Every structure is written in C-alpha cells, then in structure tokens.
Amino acid sequence: MNLVFLGPPGAGKGTIAKVAKEALGVPHISTGDLFRANIKNETELGKRVKEILASGGLVPDEITIKMVENRLSESDCEKGYILDGFPRTIPQAEALSKMSNVEGVINFVLSEEEIIKRLSGRRMCPSTGRTYHILFNPPKVEGIDDETGEPLIQRDDDKPEAIRHRLELYNEATAPLIDYYKAKDVVLDLICTNDPKETEDNFFALIKDRK
C-alpha cells in the first residue's frame, strides 16, 4: 500500500508511522530523517541542507525530489511505502505522481495551539534519534535518555523561532496539498488526540478497508 502522511510538524506522523510500518510490512520513509542522517554523516547533501534544517526552512524541491526518487527505487518499496514529510509542496506532489501511484493520503488533523505545545516539549537522544516529550512521554530521569544515558537535546528546529517559521511554511506550501489530494479522492482525515493509542486506533480504523 502506498501511503502519504500529510500534516503539520509535531502532529505525530513519525509515531504513527512506526506502528503502521510493522502492521503493513512497508518501509517508513521520512525525508526529515533522511536529511538528518546525511547531516550526521557529513555527506555532501548533508552539508548543503544543514543550515536550512536548522532554520526550519524547506530544502529546495529539486534536491528533495531526487532523494525521494532514489529511495523509492530501492527494492523494499516494491510492496508499498509510508512517505512521511513528503510531498510538502505542489511541485513535489506532481513529481511523486510521476514516480508512483499514491493510494491513500492520511491527513493529520489537530489545532495549531496543540502543535506548538507538542513541538516545544519534544526532546531527542542525539545518537539514536529516540524522541520524548516533557509532558506526554517523559524519560525516566529528566533530561536523560532511558537507553543510552546521554543528555537529551532539543532539535534546533523545535525552538520557538523555527517552530513559527515551520508552521508558516506548512500553511503556505503544504496545506494546499490537502485540496490537491482531495480532488484525487484519496484523503483520509485522521483525528489526532493526546492519547497515542486512541490516535493509533483511529488510524487503523481508517485504513481497514484499504489494506
């Protein structure tokens, strides 16, 4: 099944993707994770996008589309995929339509106030990428990763200035994709609550008939 997860930053796309990929047996492809891995490994691509990610801006379409095209051509995508964080612009959606047939677009629905609360409380283990939330999913010891014992960090793009920028970009560049995909009749609205299990159940109920 070819799925796109569409929604504002902090909506919980990555969290749902982790359970969905196991249940559906398809890879979870997060363009944000791909960029962060390139930055960590100091690749050429990583060097080009490092500043853009830190400011909360969007990587140019050309670079992003090429990276996704390469990833979708790998053999594990033959049975389908979950694309998380791509497409984020209309040109990206058009490019994707030439590469693959999108069967479902999960539209993550939650208020802007909720998004800000979620993003500003997010913390991450720098080496494993494991995420926590200071209110909703705190580590056992404040500020410390449960597994590695490392101090947790806040992503540069989860800081207030970058959050505002990311939300503006979402509203301008990405939200129009909801109508774009509605016209293709593939949008499924996922109501996101503060209870991850409830959101997970809502997700599986949505895709039940499409598996």
Query: Which residues bind to ligand AMP, rule: CB under 6 A?
Result: 9, 31-32, 35, 52-53, 56-59, 64, 85-86, 88, 92, 157, 166
Instruction: Name the token pair of 84.
Output: 């998380």
Cα angle 161, 58, 88 (rounded to 5 degrees) comes to 115
Q: Which CB sits closer to ligand AMP, 169 or 211?
A: 169
166 is catalytic: yes
118 is catalytic: no
Q: How far apart are the C-alpha atoms of 203 and 200, rounded to whole Å? A: 5
Q: Which CB sits closer to ligand AMP, 141 or 160?
A: 160
Catalytic residue among 13, 21, 36, 118: 13
Catalytic residue among 36, 88, 118, 123: 88
Catalytic residue among 21, 118, 123, 166: 166
Q: In whole angstroms, how close is the CB of 174 to ligand AMP at the nearest point?
A: 8
20's CB contacts (< 8 A; 6+ apart) are 3, 28, 82, 203, 207
- 9 preceded by a cis bond (ω within 30 of 0): no
Which residue sits closest to ligand AMP, CB atoms considered?
32
Q: In whole angstroms, how close is the CB of 157 to ligand AMP at the nearest point?
A: 5
Give exposure, 82-93, as e/b (b: 16+ Cβ within 10 Å).
Answer: bbbbbbbbeebb
211 is catalytic: no
Residue in the structure block whose two tokens are 């140019």: 60
Q: How far apart are the C-alpha atoms of 75 and 92, rounded to whole Å? A: 22
Q: In whole angstroms, how close is the CB of 82 to ligand AMP at the nearest point?
A: 13
Q: In whole angstroms, how close is the CB of 2 to ligand AMP at the nearest point?
A: 16
Catalytic residue among 21, 36, 122, 123: 122
122 is catalytic: yes
Catalytic (active-site) positions: 13, 88, 122, 155, 166
